[in-house]
Structure 1
Amino acid sequence: MRTRAITGLFFVIVLLSAMFLGQYVFAVFFIVLSICCLDEFYRIIADDAAKPSRPLGLLVGGVLFAAYAALRLDIFTAHYLGLIAPLIASVFITALYKKQEKPFAGIAYTLLGVLYVVLPFASFFTLGIMGGVYDYRLPLGFMLILWSNDTGAYLAGRRLGKHLLFERISPKKTWEGFAGGVLLALVTAMAIAHYFPVIAPWQWITIALIIAIFGTFGDLVESMLKRSQRVKDSGALLPGHGGLLDRFDGLLLAAPIVLAFLHTVLN
């Protein structure tokens, strides 16, 4: 428990520092983080029948995210995005030279990883530059709500949990825990709305509901992935916590939907 607490505190400090140190540190940190999570996904999903092209997939994901971030930060123009097309084509071409039972399954795993992991982190990165100028308040508020949802679900589920939420996928999650997560996420959102008036209070509350619902689904989806591949944790990088993907599974489905919501209401 002590190891878990120390690791968690250290990682939170690093994460907050990346947000507070400006747009370039923010971008680089989350590009690296997305690549590490993508690597964990590839290691989990690989099996005897089909293996993703891990080095190539990491290159595609990293270049795609970096090119998008550079474009949004006005480092270069959109013309350079055309360089990504040959990289994606190479995923299909390299499969010709591999002796796999199901080559297209390997191709699908490679590109699915980019879609499942890199796109959500790129969506989260976009929250920081929605107004055209970097502002840490939206991504920080997102993370605080996400952590509150996880904490509320854990505490309520541990003390009050009786009715299982999705026994086939996660035998420990309960409806009581889900309700506790929603409640604490809403309370946190109302507090954030007071200190971070970058958007309206009702929008923070809506974001809290999106994170609570789709963050839970994201957790269940990652549990489904690990259960199907018979692994307990996505990795061992964080002592006491498992892998990075385990810590950010709630972000994977929630971040793109939060971004879509904000784009809709703010435009």
Structure 2
Amino acid sequence: MKEILVRTISGVVYISIIVFAMFTSREWFMGLFFILALITMSEFLKLVHLTSYLAYFLLAAAFYFLSYRVFNENGVYLLLIISAFVNLSLFIDVLRTSKIPMFENKKYITVVFYIISGFVFLTLIPVMDVDGKFIPHLIVAVFVLMWANDTFAFLIGKNFGKHKLLERISPKKTVEGFLGGVAGALVAGFVIFKITQIYSPNDIERYNLWVWICLAIIVSIFGTIGDLIQSKFKRQAGVKDSGIIMPGHGGMYDRLDSILYASPFVYAFLLIVDYVS
């Protein structure tokens, strides 16, 4: 009971800070996520046993030149393509190998095209408006889809889970939990669609129901993969959590692993939707 209370309080504080920063201004949003990125980077470097000031410099440069002040859209698209390839390669490594090769010779590739790019696309999602206008409702909606997926996956998996999803990497994850997470995200997507049609917040009412359904599926699938990859990292490093900054939850990387992995794919999908529209 005490552990659940600690997790709940910690989670509420975390969500409150995230949502507050999102709706304040783009500068507050960028500032908060840069801090979160620094913490996540520190935790990840410890996991892979890499000491590097260069990683932090690259993070700051990417935030400024590829997210806050986009100096070249083609550079963003190139980063998107490489990041998608690296992320999918990580997933293949998780499925096929006992050890992720990046622990030996691909550390910087993963730092740049998995961790840094994850934050870059996460902070680019709310400025996908054709005029570059900051739309906090869009990134909040993506987070809500992820939180709905995580919550329903946990509840369904804990109470009804019988078939293991990938036991050698994450013993607690079940097929029933995964499907429950997808169902929860789909319900959240439907609710978001209805709300946007009523209140029309900052032009995201232009997204039809099928867009929110696809987003819910993308978030659920790639969010689950991101969680599995992080579980593999921790198992390989021999640790339970990536950090201790959030009581009852572990580190910041523990909380953002799913959304970081999914963000390039969410961004790519929204690019396609805007192009088709």
Q: Please say whether Structure 1 and Structure 2 have the same fold, judged by a TM-score greater than 0.5.
A: yes
Please state whether the residue corresponding to 2:173 is helix, strand or coil. Answer: strand
Are residue 221 (structure 1) and residue 229 (structure 2) matched?
A: yes
Counterpart AA for 1:123: F
Q: Distance in 2 between matches of 1:110 and 1:36?
A: 17
Alignment of 1:11 onto 2:14 = yes
1:35 touches 1:118 (CA, 8 Å); kept in 2? no
RMSD, aligned α-carbons: 1.7
CA contact (8 A) 1:57 1:111 kept: no
Q: How does 1:1-267 map to 2 (within 5 A)?
A: 1-46=4-49, 52-72=50-70, 108-131=106-129, 132-197=132-197, 198=204, 199-267=207-275
Maintained 8 Å contact 1:53/1:110: no
- Distance (Å, rounded) in 2 between the aligned partners of 1:111 and 1:253: 14
**Which residue in the other structure is 2:95 paired with?**
none
Whole-Å separation in 1 of the counterparts to 2:145 and 2:227: 15
Report the CA distance between 1:200 and its aligned residue: 1.4
For normalisation by structure 1, the TM-score amounts to: 0.83
Q: Does the CA-based 8 Å contact 1:156-1:176 persist in structure 2?
A: yes
Q: What does the per-residue CA deviation read over 1:68-91, in whole Å, with 9 as the maximum and x for residues that have no partner? A: 23314xxxx55xx9xxxxxxxxxx
Q: Partners in 2 of 1:209 and 1:11 — Cα distance?
A: 24
Partner of 1:100: none
Q: Could you tell me the TM-score, scaled by structure 2's length?
A: 0.80
Q: Structure 1: which 5+ residue stretches go unaligned?
A: 47-51, 82-103
State the distance in 2 between where 1:250 and 1:107 align.
Answer: 24
Instruction: Write the letter of the residue equivalent to 2:265.
Output: I
C-alpha separation between the residues in 2 aligned to 1:177 and 1:120? 25
Deviations 1:135-185 (A, max 9, x none): 111100000000000000000001100000000100010001011101010
Following superposition, which runs of at least 4 residues in structure 1 exceed 4 angstroms of deviation? 104-107
Contact 1:39 1:54 in 2 (8 A): no
Separation in 2, partners of 1:196, 1:66: 31
Deviation at 1:66, TM superposition (A): 2.3
Contact 1:42 1:110 in 2 (8 A): no
**Cα–Cα, structure 1 residues 179 and 70, in superposed 2: closer, same or farther, change >3 Å?**
closer
Kept in 2, the 8 Å contact 1:222–1:249? The answer is yes
Count of residue pairs the alignment pairs up: 234
Alignment partners' CA distance in 1, 2:166 and 2:111: 24
SS of match in other structure, 2:271: helix
What SS does the aligned partner of 2:250 have?
coil
1: CA distance, partners of 2:19 / 2:68: 21
- Aligned to 2:128, the other structure's residue is in SS state coil
- The residue aligned with 2:200 is none
Displacement of 1:110 in angstroms is 3.2
- Structure showing the higher helix proportion among its residues: 2
Question: How far off is 1:105 after superposition?
Answer: 6.9
SS in 1 for 2:69: helix
Tell me how far 1:41 sits from its aligned partner.
Answer: 0.4
CA distance, structure 1, for counterparts of residue 106 and residue 225 of structure 2 = 22
Give the stretch that moved more between structures: 126-135 or 106-115.
106-115
Distance 1:58 1:35 in 2: 7
